[in-house]
Amino acid sequence: MAFDLIRRVQSLGSPKILVVGDLILDRYVWGYAERISQEAPVPLLRADTREHRLGGAASVATMLAKLGAQVTLVGGVGRDRDGDLVRELLGEMGIDHSPVATLDDRPTTLKERYIGRAQDRHPQQMIRVDYEVRTAISAHDEAQILDDLMPRLAETDIVLISDYDKGICTPSLLRALIDGCRVAGVRAIADPIRSNDYSRYRGVHCMTPNRLEAQLATGMTIATPNDAIALGRKLVHDLGMESVLVTLDRDGMALVRADGRSEIVPTRPRQVYDITGAGDMVLSIVGLCLAAGADYDEAATLGNVAGGLEVEKIGVALLSREEILADLIEHQASDHGKVYDRENLVAEVNRRRAIGQKIVFTNGCFDLLHVGHTRLLRSSADLGDFLVVGLNADASVQRLKGPSRPINDERSRAEVLASLESVDAVTLFGEDTPLELINAILPDVLVKGGDYQPHEVVGRDEVEANGGQLVLIPLVAGHSTTNMVKKASDQTLTHHPAQPAIPAPAALTHPSRAAGALPTSSPDVC
């Protein structure tokens, strides 16, 4: 599943998305809150930074623009400095905001947040102050917005409705918009308000209410994730939708479709710093995925991932495709494991390189793992972001070490290596050298033990010709698999000299293991 999602993100393209809703300006005042005011028992914030970001439907638009969509934004701002600032920020993001109306009967909606730092701990929001008018816009302003909006439906891939209940999304405007989408064959996806009446959204193709919103809209209770399935079925039926995605915070999402299919899309536990913007991010990703041809299950899963990343940040923060890919790639090991065949390894390396990760490669037999191996692998991992270990297959080890080796078969050796935190990928190669494997992935860093001379390292020329580098890491003296085998053999002979009829393990009684006939180890730490 993870690989399918990675491919989906890589193929999202640049769809045309129309965002309709309430525009909000978010102001953040940052400072230190390390003492209590002398005037009242409240924290005193010593402000040092002021920052502006876009919120509401404008937040959805900026998230989509950052993710590579072509975005047109429809809404309204006041005739004030904050409204001018909203337009400036939209222009900087390359968002078409020509349909944004100037509203004379209200100020630009502003949410002002005060963020305190203390003793270098993670900053926390102390208070939020809202400046807003929530009554419906005038009939004149609604008509102006619809005049700008409706002709654009024919040239968009999807419409996203970001309703914050600030007056833009009137029932009559939504009815005209949703009916227009149905006629134009364009999906409309809504992030709804908190209300016990969702009739204004009837006919949208999908909506993304959170747990509380869904409960208020249906009068039902979500005590367990499965309760959201029944609730979702009611919403889909009552509003004539294709599907509904009920976001359930720590419990993930409930996806319910009109054809009867349903599922709980789980989420991964995360450190939650601020839930601001999580709903906007879910709407953005779901809309982007559907516009790019994804099904609802892919859209829901990717929305879950992006929403989770959003709550790890303070305030409304933008995510890139690279960040989403990095999260998918870092956590896809639970689906795939760390042991790759060559084709999948090359694909994985390419995915990681595309998001700027540095690929490190080393190789060996790793027959009996010892401290020399683990130190080499930890040092190798520190040189980049993704450590690939090339592992000699059994036949390759036999040709290099003799017919009594390896002690452990290739599957066992691969599993042990994959269990190490420092190792990100393990792949087998059957050749005598890893040259073909190195040519396939062309790592940024090639690592060998320090008893090699640079000219002796297989693959060095190819890696350096591609802009990579060779790093030689000193070995741990006195540690090698060959010495471990010899020591075990000597101990067996010492403790059982009078029992020659009892055979020792085959690996220790092969003719090549006779006293004085142990093969010398290669310079590697195999």
Give the residue numbers annotated as catalytic, written as ranges.
Answer: 280
In order of 60, 134, 280, 360, 374, the CA distances from 73 in angstroms are: 9, 20, 14, 44, 54
Return the HEC string of 265-321: ECCCCCCCCCCCCHHHHHHHHHHHHHHCCCCHHHHHHHHHHHHHHHHCCCCCCCCCH
Q: Are the C-beta atoms of 273 and 314 separated by less than 8 Å?
A: yes
Residue with tokens 């982007």: 288
> Shortest CA distance to 268 belongs to which of 213, 216, 311?
311
Q: Which residues contact 126 (CB under 8 A, 6 or more apart)?
A: 33, 43, 45, 114, 115, 116
User: Which helix or strand (DSSP H or E) is residue 62 part of?
Assistant: helix 57-66
The token pair that represents 500 in the structure block: 């020659």
Residue 406: cis peptide before it, omega within 30 degrees of 0: yes
Secondary structure (DSSP) of 316-382:
S----HHHHHHHHHHHTHHHH-SB--HHHHHHHHHHHHHTTPPEEEEEE---S--HHHHHHHHHHHT
Alpha-carbon dihedral angle through residues 374, 378, 380, 383, given to the nearest 10 degrees: 180
CA-CA distance, 141 to 174, in Å (whole number)?
14
Look at residue 448 and give its three-state secondary structure: strand
For the four alpha carbons of 403, 406, 412 and 418, in that order, the dihedral sign comes to negative
Look at residue 468 and give its three-state secondary structure: coil
CA-CA distance, 260 to 276, in Å (whole number)?
32
Secondary structure (DSSP) of 469-512:
EEEEEPPPTT--HHHHHHHHHHHHHHH-TT-TTSPPPHHHHSGG
In order of 16, 24, 344, 387, the CA distances from 394 in angstroms are: 54, 63, 21, 22
Look at residue 418 and give its three-state secondary structure: helix
The vertex-73 CA angle with 69 and 78, nearest 5°, equals 150
User: Which helix or strand (DSSP H or E) is residue 415 part of?
Assistant: helix 410-418
CA-CA distance, 78 to 108, in Å (whole number)?
4
In order of 253, 261, 411, 511, the CA distances from 404 in angstroms are: 54, 56, 17, 9
> Shortest CA distance to 93 belongs to which of 76, 68, 111?
68
In the Cβ-directed half-sphere of 138, how many Cα atoms lie within 13 Å? Answer: 9
